[in-house]
Chain A
Amino acid sequence: MHSLSRRLLLCVSIPLFLLFGVMGFVLDLSFRELSNRSLQQVLDSQMVQLIAAAELQPNGSYAPAARSLESALSTPGSGLYAQIRSPRVSTVWQSPSTAGEAIAFGPALPPGARTFSRATERDDDEVAVESRGIQFSDDPASGQTLTFSVAVSLGPYQKELWRLRTQLLEIFGGLALLLLGTLVLLLRWVLSPLRRLEREIHAVEEGRIDTLGSGYPRELSGVATNLNALLVGERKRVFRYRDTLGNLAHSLKTPLSVMRSALTGEVKTAGSPGAALGSEIDRMSGIIEHQLKRAAASGGALLGQAPVDVGAVASELRATLLKVYARKDLSIELAVELESQFIGDRGDFVELLGNVLDNACKWCKSRVRLTVSIDNLTFSRERLKVVVEDDGPGISEEDRRRVGQRGVRTDENVPGHGIGLAMVQDTIEMYGGSLTIDAAPLGGARFSIRLPGR
Chain B
Amino acid sequence: MRVLVVEDEAALRDMLKARLTEAGFTVDVAADGEEGLFAALEYPLDVAIIDLGLPKLAGLEVIRRLRAGRKTYPILILTARDNWQDKVEGLQAGADDYVPKPFHFEEVLARLQALLRRAGGWASPELVCGPITLDTRAQTVKVSGAPVELTTFEYRILEHLMLRAGEVISKTELTERLYDEDFERDSNVIEVLIGRLRRKLDPQDQLKPIETLRGRGYRFALSRQTA
Binds A, one of B92-100, B138-146, B171-179, B207-215: B92-100
Which residues of chain A are near B102, meaning CB under 8 Å?
Answer: 253-254, 256-257, 259-260, 281, 285
Decide if A351 touches B85 in the complex (CB within 8 Å). Answer: yes
A317 within 8 A of B: yes
The 8 Å CB contact of A253, one of B88, B101, B105, B114, is B101
Which residues of chain B are near A260, meaning CB under 8 Å?
Answer: 102-104
Residues 264-312 of A at the B interface (beta carbon under 8 Å): 264, 281, 285, 289, 293
Decide if A261 touches B91 in the complex (CB within 8 Å). Answer: no
Interchain CA distance A353-B101 in the complex, whole Å: 21
Which residues of chain B are near A254, meaning CB under 8 Å?
Answer: 9, 12, 80, 101-102
Decide if A324 touches B15 in the complex (CB within 8 Å). Answer: no
B189 within 8 A of A: no
Least distance between A28 CB and chain B CB atoms (Å) = 79
The 8 Å CB contact of A327, one of B83, B84, B123, is B123
Q: A260-B102, A261-B15 are in contact. Are A317 and B81 (CB under 8 A)?
A: no
Decide if B118 touches A317 in the complex (CB within 8 Å). Answer: no
The 8 Å CB contact of B84, one of A249, A261, A354, is A354
Least distance between B20 CB and chain A CB atoms (Å) = 12
Interface 0/1 of B1-45, CB less than 8 Å to A: 000000001011001100100000000000000000000000000
Which residues of chain B are near A87, meaning CB under 8 Å?
Answer: none
Which residues of chain A are near B87, meaning CB under 8 Å?
Answer: 320, 324, 354
B166 within 8 A of A: no
Which residues of chain B are near A319, meaning CB under 8 Å?
Answer: 88, 91-92
Across chains A and B, the number of contacting residue pairs, with CB separation under 8 Å, is 89
Max chain B C-beta neighbours (<10 A), residue from A250, A324, A327, A351 = A327
Decide if A317 touches B88 in the complex (CB within 8 Å). Answer: yes
A110 within 8 A of B: no
Interface 0/1 of B75-89, CB less than 8 Å to A: 000001111110110
Tell me how many residues of B have a C-beta within 8 Å of chain A: 28
Residues 311-326 of A at the B interface (beta carbon under 8 Å): 316-317, 319-320, 323-324, 326
Residue of A nearest to B95 (CB): A323
The 8 Å CB contact of B81, one of A246, A323, A350, A354, is A246
B53 within 8 A of A: yes
Decide if A323 touches B96 in the complex (CB within 8 Å). Answer: yes
Q: A264-B105, A323-B97, A326-B118 are in contact. Are A257 and B12 (CB under 8 A)?
A: yes
Residue of B nearest to A254 (CB): B9
Residue of A nearest to B78 (CB): A257
A8 within 8 A of B: no
Which residues of chain A are near B91, meaning CB under 8 Å?
Answer: 319-320, 323-324
Interchain CA distance A262-B104 in the complex, whole Å: 11
A432 within 8 A of B: no
A258 within 8 A of B: yes
Residue of B nearest to A353 (CB): B84
Interchain CA distance A327-B19 in the complex, whole Å: 24
Which residues of chain B are near A259, meaning CB under 8 Å?
Answer: 102
Decide if B81 touches A249 in the complex (CB within 8 Å). Answer: yes
Decide if B85 touches A261 in the complex (CB within 8 Å). Answer: no
A347 within 8 A of B: yes
Interchain CA distance A2-B137 in the complex, whole Å: 75
Decide if A258 touches B123 in the complex (CB within 8 Å). Answer: no
Which residues of chain B are near A293, meaning CB under 8 Å?
Answer: 82-83
Residues 98-121 of B at the A interface (beta carbon under 8 Å): 98, 101-105, 114, 118
Interchain CA distance A327-B98 in the complex, whole Å: 14
Decide if A257 touches B103 in the complex (CB within 8 Å). Answer: yes
Which residues of chain B are near A354, meaning CB under 8 Å?
Answer: 83-84, 87-88
Interchain CA distance A354-B118 in the complex, whole Å: 24
A434 within 8 A of B: no
Decide if B84 touches A355 in the complex (CB within 8 Å). Answer: yes
Least distance between A405 CB and chain B CB atoms (Å) = 24
Least distance between B214 CB and chain A CB atoms (Å) = 37
Residue of B nearest to A251 (CB): B80
Interchain CA distance A350-B98 in the complex, whole Å: 17
The 8 Å CB contact of A351, one of B12, B84, B97, is B84
Least distance between A267 CB and chain B CB atoms (Å) = 9
Which residues of chain B are near A249, meaning CB under 8 Å?
Answer: 80-82
Interchain CA distance A281-B11 in the complex, whole Å: 17
Least distance between B98 CB and chain A CB atoms (Å) = 7
Which residues of chain A are near B80, meaning CB under 8 Å?
Answer: 249-250, 253-254
Decide if A320 touches B88 in the complex (CB within 8 Å). Answer: yes
Which residues of chain B are near A327, meaning CB under 8 Å?
Answer: 114, 118, 123
Residue of B nearest to A293 (CB): B83
Decide if B88 touches A316 in the complex (CB within 8 Å). Answer: yes
Which residues of chain B are near A285, meaning CB under 8 Å?
Answer: 102
Identify 6 residue pairs between A and B in the complex whose beta-carbon atoms are under 8 Å apart, listed by A's number: A249-B82, A257-B12, A259-B102, A262-B15, A324-B87, A355-B84
Instruction: Give 14 A-B pairs besides A250-B81, A258-B11 with Cβ atoms closer than 8 angstroms.
Output: A249-B82, A253-B102, A257-B9, A257-B12, A257-B102, A258-B9, A260-B102, A262-B11, A293-B83, A317-B88, A326-B114, A350-B84, A350-B88, A354-B84
